[in-house]
Chains A and B, each alone.
Chain A
């Protein structure tokens, strides 16, 4: 099993739709979780951190489920500009400061 797994998609949704992605991780001791966004032919940029209690930033909501070892990202009222690849990032304990990136989930929002 890969350390961090994501459905590559693409998720093809109309404007205004609600879409959710999951990301599973294999190390139950993982401590820190993040979502990054990567636009086509651009570098990744931090979208939001994922806290145990869940967190919300405008139309974006991130959740952590430790029991099932996954994190989720929910996007409400999708915009054309949300089209991008969403990367799940997991940081593990044990002195390693090297985060593990998932391969990303592609989202396409169409008119």
Chain B
């Protein structure tokens, strides 16, 4: 079946331009995450969507970053006035929300990642 898809796969832009990155999660997955990964670094959490709840934006590094998720499916990450330090691979992941009864507050299911968008800001 179809996995998580992201577009574009590569994006080269000039400093100061705005960019939009798209993520198509697996159908039926209610949870959607955005991360970014710089060369040789770990995953940096950006934003989390779960169903119709307000997104958790606690990882967004500045107000130049924003994200939407329309109709509980496709998500768009927008970076305004890009800077060179924004250069990274932006990864999207989706998962099926699942509660673990008896494990209070613990709810996690396997995250399926897209192939990422490699953003280069010149």
Contacts and interface: CB of A to CB of B under 8 A. Distances in A.
Interface in B36-59: 41-43, 45, 48, 50, 56, 59
Given A97-B50, A98-B56, A99-B111, A87 B43 contact: yes
Contacts of B100: 31-32
Nearest to A45: B113
Interface in A73-107: 87, 91-104
A44 B113 CA distance: 6
A31 B48 contact: no
Interface of B: 31, 33, 35, 41-43, 45, 48, 50, 56, 59, 91, 97, 100, 103-108, 110-111, 113-116
A46 interface: yes
Contacts, number: 57
A53 B97 CA distance: 24
Contacts of B116: 43
A94 B91 CA distance: 25
Contacts of A44: 43, 91, 111, 113
19 contacts: A31-B105, A32-B108, A44-B91, A46-B111, A91-B108, A93-B106, A95-B105, A96-B56, A97-B31, A97-B107, A97-B108, A98-B33, A98-B56, A98-B59, A100-B45, A101-B45, A102-B42, A103-B41, A104-B42
A31 B42 contact: no
Contacts of B59: 98
Contact of B115 (A31, A42, A96, A104): A42
Nearest to B50: A97
A44 B35 CA distance: 11
